[in-house]
């Protein structure tokens, strides 16, 4: 069994965990467009590839799948999730399983307005959002929403180009200088992350790991502590089943005055997943089982609570042109 991880970047731990789970019974292959992506050099085999939007990118990935006899493929960046899902049949023809959710779901989670509309239609508490400035200003005058608010791109990830705004003048300025923006309510409460795995064969929620985010940095969890709440587990189970996710997903949630609000969803390994793994939520094992045709048994909440994760800086040193594989 060989697993291909695309756009691995700095996600060294993900590569390490897959290698640990395979334990010599298969290879982990990694790709990235940058030869200076450190996670490349954790893999058994690595390839430097073009940007995912470049002509011929998918053909390059298909060639790697053939050459390395890949069993399953996944990506660690949001824009590539839709690309993989859109071409699931082509990967299947090569004997490769796309580890992730269906195309429509990948697109919905990348489009924050679509995600907001779906959550509202299905009765989930979420941050109030607007694409119509006048509707927003009307609600401000009516006292239905107050500043500060977030102004962010409708499509985007990694907290890029998000602004916390205190007044109408700034909202107008941002909208005049960029297209496809939305306004989102600023939720004041405890931010929570949930790392979940939905069995790719049965469609059942297998694992949920929840953590309270203590410190954030550049949109990712820097410090967090694990906890358990059966009410939150039930909400997540209802949500993932109703939405139809499969494989690994990462959910951002807020707890405000005893109520849980679903904020954003990323159908991939989140940046804080190592916390889940180290506390006992081994999602690599579930992926390997599914790739072997085995259905996983639910183990929701089977991890240690009160475990604190603290990220710190590390470095990797390599000599120029050392082991670059083209």
Instruction: Give the residue-averaged pLDDT of 203-228.
Output: 92
Instruction: Give the residue-averaged pLDDT of 281-308.
Output: 97
Domain end position, chosen among 48, 82, 99: 99
Residue 30 belongs to a domain? yes
Backbone phi, psi, residue 34, to 5°: -110, 130
Statement to judge: residues 236 and 296 lie in one domain: yes
Percentage of residues of the chain with pLDDT beyond 90: 89
Statement to judge: residues 155 and 60 lie in one domain: no
Question: 18-71 pLDDT, tens per residue?
Answer: 999 999 999 999 999 999 999 999 999 999 999 999 999 999 999 999 999 999
Statement to judge: residues 138 and 221 lie in one domain: no
222 vs 26, more confident? 26
Residue 107 belongs to a domain? no
Residue 109 belongs to a domain? no
CA distances from 240 to 134, 207, 248, 256, 276 (A): 33, 11, 11, 21, 18
Distance, in Å, from the CA atom of 324 to the CA atom of 313, rounded to the nearest integer, reads 24
Closest CA relative to residue 19, chosen from 48, 39, 47, 49: 39
- In the chain, % helix, strand, coil (3-state, to 5) comes to 35, 25, 40
Statement to judge: residues 227 and 280 lie in one domain: yes
Statement to judge: residues 302 and 253 lie in one domain: yes
Domain end position, chosen among 185, 213, 229: 185
Whether the per-residue pLDDT at 276 is higher than 60: the answer is: yes
Handedness of CA 248, 40, 91, 56 (dihedral sign): positive
Residue 112 belongs to a domain? no
The helices-and-strands tally (H runs, E runs) of the chain is: 11, 15
Instruction: Give the residue-averaged pLDDT of 158-173.
Output: 84
* CATH (domain of 211): 3.30.470.20
Residue 122 belongs to a domain? no
Whether the per-residue pLDDT at 324 is higher than 90: the answer is: no
- Split into its structural domains, the chain has a count of 3
DSSP 8-state assignment for residue 111: B
Statement to judge: residues 95 and 57 lie in one domain: yes
Task: Tell me which residue range forms the domain holding 296.
Answer: 189-310
Statement to judge: residues 286 and 180 lie in one domain: no
Confidence of residue 73 (pLDDT cuts 50, 70, 90): very high
Mean of the per-residue pLDDT values of the chain:
94
Which residue matches tokens 């992506």? 37
Residue 299 belongs to a domain? yes
Residue 266 belongs to a domain? yes
Question: 265-275 pLDDT, tens per residue?
Answer: 999 999 999 99
Task: Give 29's strand partners.
Answer: 4, 45
Domain end position, chosen among 185, 211, 227: 185
Q: Are 296 and 289 in contact (CB under 8 A)?
A: yes
72 three-class SS: strand
At 289, list the tokens: 């089982």
* CATH (domain of 67): 3.40.50.20
Confidence of residue 254 (pLDDT cuts 50, 70, 90): very high
* CATH (domain of 175): 3.30.1490.20
Whether the per-residue pLDDT at 94 is higher than 50: the answer is: yes
Whether the per-residue pLDDT at 326 is higher than 50: the answer is: no
Whether the per-residue pLDDT at 122 is higher than 60: the answer is: yes
């Amino acid at each position: 069994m060989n697993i291909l991880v695309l756009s691995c970047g700095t996600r060294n731990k993900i590569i390490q965990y897959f290698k640990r789970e395979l334990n010599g019974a298969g290879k982990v292959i990694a790709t990235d467009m940058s030869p200076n992506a450190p996670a490349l050099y954790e893999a058994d085999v690595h390839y430097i590839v073009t940007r995912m939007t470049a002509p011929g990118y998918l053909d390059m990935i298909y060639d790697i799948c053939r050459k390395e006899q890949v069993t399953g493929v996944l990506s660690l960046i949001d824009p590539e999730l839709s690309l993989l899902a859109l071409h699931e049949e082509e990967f299947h023809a090569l004997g490769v399983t796309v580890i992730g959710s269906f195309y429509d779901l990948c697109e919905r989670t990348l489009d924050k307005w679509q995600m907001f509309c779906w959550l509202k239609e299905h009765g989930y508490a979420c941050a109030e959002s607007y694409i119509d400035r006048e509707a927003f200003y009307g609600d401000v005058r009516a006292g239905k929403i107050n500043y500060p608010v977030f102004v962010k791109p409708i499509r985007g990830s990694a907290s890029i180009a998000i602004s916390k705004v205190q007044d109408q003048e700034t909202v107008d300025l941002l909208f005049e200088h960029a297209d496809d923006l939305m306004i989102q309510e600023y939720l004041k409460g405890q931010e929570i992350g949930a790392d979940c795995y939905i069995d790719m064969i049965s469609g059942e929620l297998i694992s949920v790991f929840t953590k309270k985010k203590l410190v954030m940095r550049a949109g990712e969890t820097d410090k967090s502590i694990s906890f358990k709440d059966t009410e939150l587990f039930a909400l997540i189970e209802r949500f993932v089943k109703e939405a139809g996710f499969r494989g690994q997903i990462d959910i951002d949630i807020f707890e405000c005055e005893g109520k849980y609000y679903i904020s954003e969803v990323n159908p991939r390994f989140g940046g804080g997943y190592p916390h889940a793994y180290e506390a006992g939520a081994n999602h690599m094992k579930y992926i390997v089982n599914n790739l072997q045709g085995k259905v996983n048994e639910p183990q929701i909440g089977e991890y240690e609570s009160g475990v604190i994760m603290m990220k710190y800086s590390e470095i990797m040193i390599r000599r120029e042109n050392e082991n670059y594989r083209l």
